[in-house]
Amino acid sequence: DSGVTQTPKHLITATGQRVTLRCSPRSGDLSVYWYQQSLDQGLQFLIQYYNGEERAKGNILERFSAQQFPDLHSELNLSSLELGDSALYFCASGQGDEKLFFGSGTQLSVL
Amino acid sequence: SQQGEEDPQALSIQEGENATMNCSYKTSINNLQWYRQNSGRGLVHLILIRSNEREKHSGRLRVTLDTSKKSSSLLITASRAADTASYFCATMKETSGSRLTFGEGTQLTVNP
């Protein structure tokens, strides 16, 4: 158990809809990272938050947004969903220049 | 595009044999890490090697880093069927803060 909790584990929705993925980081970790894993794109970094503030941005679409709350949990919002957004979304947490601890992921299926 | 490229994409060996996976990257790094992913599950950190280190060991794992060639290798000795998984290298670049950029992974199958 990595200590990182992601909910829900599975999400099935339709094109055009909006979903929210939730992540609770490991106790004491101030950084939260979101990654998208798909067969054709591999593991893509989306965004990083540190203690409530956006720290780095990767290949995150404008339809996607995220935030980190005062209790350090984070949410990734995906809107106007397309078939191509179907993927495994991972949250990870860490303490800076060290290893990351990954959650078990949310499998998103857009039908 | 991914920072790291891994070789081979797939590797199939017998239990007891050694498995070697290679990773190449393009820019200067702070550290390079290896992660393991069992089918469709979360990634698990295996080992971290810093840019000023050349070799590191952890149990049956041995990682080398050659910054002049911008490459790393992961050796798993005396492999077991339970080692079957995907293995990813990930780099933490000097200019990217603490984010990790992952390679495409090597699918290792260890046959009993």
DSSP string, A33-87: EEEEEETTTEEEEEEEEETTEEEEE-S--TTEEEEE-TTS-EEEEE-S--GGG-E
B48 in A contact zone (CB under 8 Å): yes
Record: contact A99-B99, CB cut-off 8 A: no
B45 in A contact zone (CB under 8 Å): yes
Record: contact B2-A42, CB cut-off 8 A: yes
pLDDT value of residue B99: 84
- Hey, of B1, B36, B88, B100, which one would you mutate to test binding to chain A, going by the most A CBs within 10 A of its CB? B100
In terms of Cα–Cα distance, which of A108, A79, A102 is closest to A24? Answer: A102
Q: Is the pLDDT of residue A10 over 60?
A: yes
Q: Where are the beta strands (DSSP E) in B1-112?
A: 5-7, 10-14, 19-24, 29-37, 43-50, 55-58, 61-66, 71-76, 85-93, 101-102, 106-111
pLDDT value of residue B2: 44
With a cut of 70, list the residues of chain B below it in pLDDT: 1-4, 94-97
- Hey, of A6, A53, A100, which one would you mutate to test binding to chain B, going by the most B CBs within 10 A of its CB? A100
Record: contact A97-B42, CB cut-off 8 A: no
pLDDT value of residue A25: 97
pLDDT value of residue B1: 38
Min Cα–Cα distance to chain B from A105, Å: 6
Mean of pLDDT values over A14-43: 94
B31 in A contact zone (CB under 8 Å): yes
Q: pLDDT per residue over A49-108, tens digit each?
A: 999 999 999 989 999 999 999 999 999 999 999 999 999 999 999 987 689 999 999 999
What band does A34 get if pLDDT is binned at 50, 70 and 90?
A: very high
pLDDT value of residue A93: 96
Token readout for A58 is: 């990767």
Q: What are the chain A neighbours of B29 within 8 Å (beta carbons)?
A: none
Record: contact A33-B99, CB cut-off 8 A: yes
| Bridge partners for A34 per DSSP | A47, A91
Q: A19, A110 in Cβ contact below 8 A? A: no
pLDDT value of residue B7: 86
Record: contact A105-B40, CB cut-off 8 A: yes
pLDDT value of residue A59: 84
DSSP symbol at A109: E
pLDDT value of residue A35: 96
